[in-house]
Amino acid sequence: MRSGKGRAPAIDPIEARKLLLNAIAEATAPLSAKHLGTLPELGRKVSGTAISKWLADDLQSGGVHWWGSGKTRGLWNRDPKDAAHDRLLEIAAVELLGRTMLEKRAAGMLPAIGGAIVKSARATLLAEGQLREVAAPAGVKGKIVINAARPEPYLQAAIAHLLDSFGISRSPERIQALLGVEQPPAAAHDEQEVRDTAEKIFAAMNRIAFSPGTTVTFYRLRQQPELVQIPKQIFDRAALLLESERRALLSIHDHATALSAEERESFVTDGLGKYYVSIYAR
Amino acid sequence: MPSINGRPFELILAELGQMRAGAKGSSIVLVGEPGSGKTHLLGRLRARLQQDEREGKGATVYIYVRSNASAATLWRHLQHALASDLLRGPEASQLQAVFQRDQQRADKVGHGALRHVLECLRDGRHFHAAAAWLRGEQLGESDLAALGLAVEKDDEDQGRERDAMLVVMAILRFLAPTPVVICFDQVEALESYHGELAGYHAMGRLISELNDGNDHLLLISCIVSAFEHRFDQLSNGADRDRWLQYKAVLRPIGWEPALELVQARLDAAIPLQAARLAHASDPLWPLDEMALKPLFAATGLCLPRTLIQACKQQFDALMPGDAAPVQPVTLAIFLRDAYNRNLAEARRTATKQGLSKTLSDCLPWLLQNSRMMPLGRDEARSRYASQAWRGANGDIALAFCDGRGNALTNQFKRIDREWNPKILKLAILRDPAVQPGARGAELLVRLKERGAREVHPLPEALAVLQAIRNLAATARSGELFWGDQIVSEPEVTDWALSHLPQPVEELRTALTGHKIPDDDPILPRLLELVVADKIVAAEAAAGRLGITTEEVRECARRHPMRFGLLDGAPVVVFEAAGAPAR
């Protein structure tokens, strides 16, 4: 007979992987290997090497990603490349910065992203034409990177400079008006609800997907207990938010308008005639 | 381009590798939007299997099944596809390769009829009859006798499906231990009309049977993502789990792989090679990279087909001298042309597969779009009727009778025994060219006296329904293009319903009781003339009727079951053989 103080029983790698994936999916930020190794559900302390080994397939397939570097390194199910994309676009839409400063700013936001990932994302966005590198308007040295879809700060500076060269002076508000009035933002409460729902959808999607990155129909997602009560409009906006944030992709139904209203109800719509049947992690 | 859809392809190869190493085969479902490369992936797999065989890595039998069948005909459909692919290419068919590897394999087949047929095919005796039997086509008594087989006695759909299942399973056992890959493409085509789930249920059962009975079988099913939720609606969870053992998604591609894809395509274009050398610094020459970027603006990703089409458009615009195929000016003209192309093939298919299979697969589309709805399954009714529908004129059961001799008589006997005219009306659909024997004729008269209606779907009506079904299935899979525009299934349905040829309208009227307006004033006059003269030049007929030659021609074209038309010089109209009585 063994004594009561013997070794803890060996951990089943399949079970451990499930526990780790659940913890990662529910986390609101990357979790360090050290933190994951001390999860009480594992029953004993586990080394970072073992964690990496158990999640090797998921890291390989893109279901789980490394975030940050050095001491800030952690695991999360969101792709840091997508976050880097979003941050670069967001910063470039409000500030006039050169390449290096833009990358530094995006990498430094929390949770931190590795510099190489940000650099690669910046190169891709420039190649795709979503970011554009242009000569800086007077007063700023060298070249700057702008968001091609939201070039207002750059245009505002350039127009002000052009008017100035003709001796005309206009207030920033008048130039902004010339560039178009922004839509009034949706109620803050709604926005928060949409964001929360998006997180729930993302977690549920990763939990019930057949394997990492495979499609989950909205028909199934809507049956998940945490999503059953969500109003359809909020649910649809949350799903679309995940796509616009480049965390997920939605599969479109080409001719849903010809279907019955009941059938369309089980899809997600953008309200402009597009209907989506399923969602999957990017 | 190995990087495009690399993950699903690797999954298939890994499963195949496991199976070759002795593990049990599995079932993989591939999901993707139209244009994501599902069918292309299957083609790539086929090429890879051929390459493996050439390199001595082992032989694999590859079977492609386009899933445009229905719940009642799925096993027959699989038998046809399995046999067709095994027999394709008489000199170097997959079947011949199996025989070359093991001459004695046919001797071990337990299914007696199949063993006879395989021996004939191996020895080159009665090849055409044996091949037709293997494909499940109906044979005459003399052909069956030549093959040493008994005359077919089974007279009902369920019996034929059971027979087809036994033949398929016996063929697969015969092929063992050679690995077999069966690819079910366009699974969404199982819906004989939009929303019909019976085909998916039957497919789930079929996959389960195949999976349980064979260890050397890899099943791959491709479905458009818009129809993926049908899996969620399958009531039998066990069947669904066996079908969905693995799942992979075919994804849109990013900018880098897109560049590689376009460059690879351009490099492969031999006429461009010399000119591209002069523009070595521009890998996409003559295309403009900037013009492709907007395709990636929304999500950073793009479907391979969308990208290729954009490149093609750009290329066509750059080459104004090269006459690109003229695009039909309207959608209706495009659909008419596409339908006509389908019709030629459908005429051959409908003749070979027989009345029962064509009606099972295609009639639901016509009836469902004629404001009828299918009645639920009923065990007692299924003993004598193939389908049952509810319409404005009440409920009606349909019995598809395309047996011959004793089989036909047996079917009439069963209908007479099981059918109760007080409960349900009955239409017997059969080919008038097949004459029942004395007892069969007697039973038919008796059934009609009890109130059954005899309906004769003309061969042209069956071909038209098959052509519409094929066209609608292509559209449902997002594979029907008018220029660069995808034509949807509802557009095909709308067009087809407003252009139903006379033989189909007549069939619809016979089954639904709806009257069709006879709005062709030329028909009775031309008919009278042709019945009297048997054959007449269109120009002469036009002169006698006081109309133009073109009007005569059009009228003859609109009524193909009444007139034959020789489009020579001169154009000649004649009375069609077997034209319906006026």
SS (H, E, C) B356-416: HHHHHHHHHHHHHCCCCEECCCCHHHHCCCCEEEEECCEEEEEEEECCCHHHHHHHHHHHH
Interface touch A258/B490, C-beta < 8 Å: yes
pLDDT at A3 over 50: no
CA distance B541 to B413: 49
Establish if A100 touches chain B: CB-CB under 8 angstroms.
no
Q: In this structure, are B463 and B386 located in the same domain?
A: yes
> Looking at chain A, which residue has its C-alpha nearest residue B486?
A254
Task: List the single best residue of A208, A222, A255, A266 to mutate versus B (max B Cβ within 10 A).
Answer: A255
Which of A60, A215, A282 to probe the B interface (max B CBs under 10 A)?
A215
* Range of weakest confidence among A29-43, A170-184, B157-171: A170-184
Q: How far apart are CA B148 and CA B130, in angstroms?
A: 10
Mean predicted lDDT score pLDDT of chain A? 82
User: How far are the Cα atoms of A85, B64, B411 from residue B43, in angstroms, in the given order?
Assistant: 35, 9, 43
Q: What is the CATH number of domain A80-178?
A: 1.10.10
Nearest to B232 among A210, A217, A249 (CB): A217
∠B474-A267-A274 over CA atoms, to 5°? 70
pLDDT at position A105 over 50: yes
Chain B interface disruption, residue of A122, A216, A251, A260, most B CBs within 10 A:
A251
Contact call for residues B326 and B334 (beta carbons, < 8 A): no
Task: State the smallest CA–CA distance between residue A171 and chain B in angstroms.
Answer: 33
Ranges A5-9, A166-170, B54-58, B288-292: which has the least confidence? A5-9
C-alpha distance from residue B74 to each of B162, B172, B232, B360 (Å): 10, 16, 21, 10
List pLDDT tens digits, range A200-223. Answer: 999 999 999 988 889 999 999 999
User: Shortest CB distance from A252 goes to which of B33, B246, B248?
Assistant: B33
* Contact with chain B for residue A259, Cβ under 8 A: yes
Map residue A52 onto helix, strand or coil: helix
- Asked whether residue A4 carries a pLDDT value surpassing 70, the answer given is no
Tell me whether residues A254 and B229 touch, CB distance under 8 A. Answer: no
Fold held by A13-76: Arc Repressor Mutant, subunit A (1.10.10)
State how far residue B241 is from chain A, nearest Cα, in angstroms: 11
Distance CA(B402)–CA(B413), nearest Å, equals 14
Q: Do B252 and A217 touch (CB under 8 A)?
A: no
Q: Do B249 and A130 touch (CB under 8 A)?
A: no
pLDDT at A241 over 50: yes
Contacts of A147 in chain B (CB under 8 A): none
Query: Which of A61-75, A245-259, B359-373, B437-451 comes out lowest in average pLDDT?
Result: A61-75
- The alpha carbon of residue A67 is apart from the nearest alpha carbon of chain B, in Å, by 21
Using CA coordinates, name the residue in chain A closest to B244: A210
Look at residue B28 and tell me if it is in a domain: no
Q: Are residues B501 and B359 in the same domain?
A: yes
- Concatenating the DSSP letter of every residue in B428-474 gives EEE-TTS---HHHHHHHHHHHHTTPEEE---HHHHHHHHHHHHHHHH
Domain edge (last residue) among B516, B541, B563? B516
Are B375 and B508 within one domain?
yes
Q: Which of B229, B233, B486, B492 to mutate to test the interface with A (most CBs of A within 10 A)?
A: B229
A213 and chain B: CB distance < 8 Å anywhere?
yes
What lies within 8 Å, CB to CB, of A226 at 6+ separation is A200, A204
Residues of A in contact with B232 (CB under 8 A): 217, 219-220
CA B547 – CA B555 distance, rounded (Å): 11
Residues B397 and B446 in one domain: yes
d(CA A256, CA A274): 8
Residues of B in contact with A126 (CB under 8 A): none
Q: How far apart are CA A171 and CA B307, in angstroms?
A: 45
In the sheet where B535-537 sits, what is the strand order? B535-537, B572-575, B563-566
Quick check: is B110 in a domain?
yes
Contact at CB, B488 and A255, closer than 8 angstroms: yes
- Residue of A252, A253, A254 to mutate when probing chain B, most B C-beta within 10 A: A254
Range of the domain at B558: 522-575
Interface contact A220, partner B, CB < 8 A: yes
Provide the strand spans (E) within chain A. Answer: 65-67, 74-76, 131-135, 143-147, 216-217, 248-253, 268-269, 275-281
**Residue B537 sits in the same domain as residue B464:** no
Residues B376, B455 within the same domain: yes
Q: E strands, B118-216, where?
A: 180-185
Q: In Å, what is the CA distance from B163 to each residue of A282, B73, B137, B155, B171?
A: 46, 11, 12, 11, 12
Q: Are residues B532 and B505 in the same domain?
A: no
Contact A253 B226 (CB under 8 A): yes
For residue B237, being part of any structural domain is answered with: no
pLDDT digit of tens for each residue in chain B (582 aa)?
777 888 999 999 999 999 999 999 999 999 999 989 998 999 999 999 999 989 988 899 999 999 999 999 999 999 999 999 999 875 668 998 888 888 888 888 889 999 999 999 998 899 999 999 999 988 888 888 888 887 665 556 678 899 999 999 999 999 998 999 999 999 999 998 888 899 999 999 999 999 998 999 999 999 999 999 999 888 888 999 999 999 999 999 999 999 998 998 888 888 888 888 888 888 888 888 888 888 888 888 999 998 998 898 888 887 766 555 667 678 899 999 999 999 999 999 898 888 999 999 999 999 999 889 998 878 889 889 999 999 888 899 999 998 888 888 999 999 999 999 998 999 999 988 888 889 999 999 999 999 999 999 999 999 999 999 999 999 999 889 888 788 988 889 989 998 999 889 989 989 987 654 556 788 888 888 888 888 889 989 999 888 888 888 888 877 766 788 887 778 889 887 555 444
Which domain-ending residue is among B497, B516, B535? B516
* B444 & B544 share domain: no
Q: Is residue B392 part of a domain?
A: yes
Q: Which residues in chain B have their CB less than 8 angstroms from residue A129's CB?
A: 290, 293-294, 296-297
Q: Residue B560's Cα: distance from chain center in Å?
A: 23
> Which of these, B163, B187, B164, lies nearest to B79 by C-alpha position?
B164
CA-nearest residue to A148 within chain B is B297
pLDDT at B322: 57
Q: Is B199:B70 a contact under the CB 8 Å cutoff? A: yes
- Asked if B229 lies within 8 A of A277 by C-beta distance, the reply is yes
Q: Give the pLDDT score at A141.
A: 58
Contact between B368 and B497 (Cβ < 8 Å): no
| Biggest distance spanned by C-alpha atoms of chain A | 96
Q: Are residues B498 and B542 in the same domain?
A: no
Per the domain annotation, does B251 fall within a domain? no
- Sequence-distant (≥ 6) Cβ neighbours of residue A249 within 8 angstroms: A243, A279, A280, A281, A282, B251, B252, B299, B301
B228·A243 Cβ contact <8 A: no
Our CA-based measurement puts residue B284 at a distance from the nearest CA of chain A, in whole angstroms, of: 14
The structural domain count of chain B equals 3
Final residue belonging to a domain, choices B122, B144, B177? B177
At residue A150, the pLDDT reads 83
Q: What are phi and psi of B373, to 5 degrees?
A: -130, 145
Residues B401 and B501 in one domain: yes
DSSP three-state, residue A213: coil
Contacts of A246 in chain B (CB under 8 A): 299-300
First to last CA, chain B: 61
Q: Do B252 and A214 touch (CB under 8 A)?
A: no
Q: Where would I find the H helices in A30-151?
A: 33-37, 48-54, 56-61, 80-94, 99-108, 115-128
| Backbone phi and psi for residue B547, each to the nearest 5 degrees, phi listed first | -130, 180
Dihedral angle, C-alpha A123, A126, A131, A137, nearest 10 °: 100
Q: Are B44 and B9 in contact (CB under 8 A)?
A: yes
> How do residues B253-306 score in pLDDT, each as one tens digit?
999 999 998 998 888 888 888 888 888 888 888 888 888 888 888 888 999 998
